[in-house]
Amino acid sequence: MADGKPRDGAAAELEAGRVGRPHGLDGSFYVTRAKARLLSVGVGVSVGARTAAIVRRAGTEQKPIVRLEGVEDRPAAEALRGMAMMVKVAEAPALGDGEWWAHELEGCEVVAGDMRLGTVGRMIELPSCEVLEVHREQGGEPLLVPMVKDAIRRVETSSGRIEVDPDFLDLSEPAGRPPGREVPREGGERDGRGGSS
């Protein structure tokens, strides 16, 4: 956002994943792009116009299998395939210190010391870690900031400010290669949330 403020309260729901291919005959299905922490038995999930509780949870953290109340056979699961599964923020589990949901970081101002770099447009999940896509003040290619301790000095969602380490991001790089474009292969899976610790 242009004003650099986080979109507090903008995300009433979090995407828990998408309905994947059916599993078995009872209406269960795989969840793709899953944020496993949001997929607990009893949690209410909105899929299209319907809201239903998760009544079964199996599979693995990487490939969860769920069944929703009222989805009782393979054709019913197939009919939902590809749809987003949304969970209300109020039902999301509490995160630990140094962890944030993506919507809390989007719109935050990103600074390196006294230099304002831009604002967070979105969080991108990569195999090695999550990165913040920062839309630069002067335009051009976005700056990619890995959500790892060496890159992120401080996150203050209440004031909409993220301080990064300019040396780690190589922001002093001469013209030719945009700084901060290479994402170090550090960090780990964070289920759609980021953290600097």
Specify the length of the chain in residues.
197
Instruction: Write out the two tokens for 191.
Output: 């289920």
Spatial contact of 144 and 133, defined as CB atoms under 8 Å apart: yes
pLDDT of residue 62: 87
Each domain of the chain, given as residue ranges in start order, spans 13-91, 99-195
- State CA 6 to chain mean position distance: 15
pLDDT of residue 11: 58
Class of the CATH domain delimited by 13-91: mainly beta
Question: Is the alpha carbon torsion for 103, 91, 30, 19 positive or negative?
Answer: negative
pLDDT of residue 176: 40
pLDDT of residue 69: 96
Amino acid identity, position 72: E
How far is it, in rounded angstroms, from Cα 162 to Cα 155?
5
pLDDT of residue 196: 43
pLDDT of residue 194: 54
State pTM to two decimals: 0.59
pLDDT averaged per 10 residues in sequence order, the chain, 197 residues: 38 87 96 90 92 95 94 96 92 78 88 91 83 88 90 90 90 49 40 47
How far is it, in rounded angstroms, from Cα 193 to Cα 82?
22
Q: For the domain bounded by 99-195, which CATH number is listed?
A: 2.30.30.240
Runs of H (alpha helix) within 95-174: 102-105
